[in-house]
Every structure is written in C-alpha cells, then in structure tokens.
C-alpha cells in the first residue's frame, strides 16, 4: 500500500483545516492521486468503492465539494455534461489540456492568457474576474492507437 506525495499532501491539508480524515476520504483522495486522468463523480465513486466497499456516492459528492473548496482539486467544466475532477498538482495558477481519448490531463501555465486578459480589460473596460481556459486533444499514445 504505497502512498504518493499528492495523497499525503491532500490528507495533511484536510487535517490541518480541521477536517476529519476518514477511510472514505482517504479512498477518494487515493484514487485521485494515483492517476492523472480527470474523472467524473460517478467514475470516482466506482473506483473508490472498488478499494473500499463502503464509500457512498453521496460521500464522493461531498468530498469533491470539500476538496474543490479547499483548492486541492480542480474542477474541469470541459467536455460535455458532468464536471470532472483532477488533483491539483502545481501550486500556481494553471490551465489544463485534456486528452479526449484516455482523459489524461496535462497542466500548463501561460503568460498568453494573462496578456489576453490585460488586453481585454484595457479595450473593453471590464474588470476581469476569472476565466475558463481548457484545451482538448489527443495525447501521443491515443494518436498512435494506444
């Protein structure tokens, strides 16, 4: 039963924030930490329940909300209907490039986005509050047919 860095970091943050570290939360965090794919609530529930039978779907919803509020997890709006989630790895502000095949997520930062934001503020008079910048594509593996 190996413990990844990311997993440990999240559990510490939970504990430090006065939140209880329960087996269910461990299971969800472990799943998130182990893969670099984005997952929907339902997928996470299935994976977490495979580790520990007693992880309810409702708990997964509540855990994801908590982790998102704490800034430990990023919510991806992209793709289609349901939001999906990935562990937040870089400390600084970043964006995501998501593989439409396997769901693998690449984090990246870009001064282009900040520059664009400045330009928009200047030209429109808006005070920019936030943005969604997400790219989708096929990763090298999926392009090669696995």
Q: Which residues bind DNA (CB under 7 A)?
A: 15, 19-25, 40-42, 54-59, 61-63, 65, 81-83
**Per rule CB under 8 A, is residue 124 in the interface with its own copies?**
yes
* DSSP states along 44-102: HHHHHHHHSTT--HHHHHHHHHHHHHTTSEEEE--SSSS-EEEE--SSS--EEEEETTT
Q: Which does 2 bind (CB under 5 to 8 A by kind): DNA, its own copies, none?
A: none
Q: Is 90 among the residues that bind its own copies (CB under 8 A)?
A: no
Q: Are 99 and 139 in contact (CB under 8 A)?
A: yes
Among 2, 130, 145, 146, binds its own copies (CB under 8 A): 130
Q: Which is nearer to DNA, 63 or 98 (CB)?
A: 63
Q: How many CB atoms are closer than 10 A to CB 88?
A: 20
Please identify, using beta-carbon distances, which residue of 54 and 141 lies nearer to DNA.
Answer: 54
d(CA 43, CA 57): 10
Structure token digits, residue 125: 């008079």
Q: Does 134 bind its own copies (CB under 8 A)?
A: yes
x/- binding map, residues 20-59, to its own copies, per CB under 8 A? ----------------------------------------
Q: d(Cα 45, Cα 6) in Å, to the nearest integer?
A: 19
Q: Which residues bind its own copies (CB under 8 A)?
A: 77-78, 97, 99-100, 106, 108, 110, 112-113, 115-117, 119-121, 124-140, 143
């Amino acid at each position: 039963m190996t413990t990844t860095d990311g997993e440990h970091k999240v559990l510490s943050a939970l504990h430090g924030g006065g939140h209880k570290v329960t087996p269910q939360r461990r299971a969800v965090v472990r799943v998130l930490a182990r893969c670099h794919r984005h997952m929907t609530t339902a997928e996470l529930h299935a994976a977490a329940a495979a580790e520990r039978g007693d992880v309810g779907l409702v708990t997964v919803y509540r855990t994801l909300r908590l982790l998102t509020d704490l800034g430990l997890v990023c919510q991806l709006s992209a793709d289609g209907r349901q939001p999906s989630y990935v562990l937040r790895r870089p400390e600084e502000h970043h964006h995501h490039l998501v593989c439409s095949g396997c769901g693998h997520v690449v984090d990246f930062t870009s001064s282009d986005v900040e520059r664009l934001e400045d330009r928009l503020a200047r030209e429109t008079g808006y005070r920019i509050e936030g943005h969604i910048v997400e790219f989708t594509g096929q990763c090298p593996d999926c392009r090669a047919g696995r």
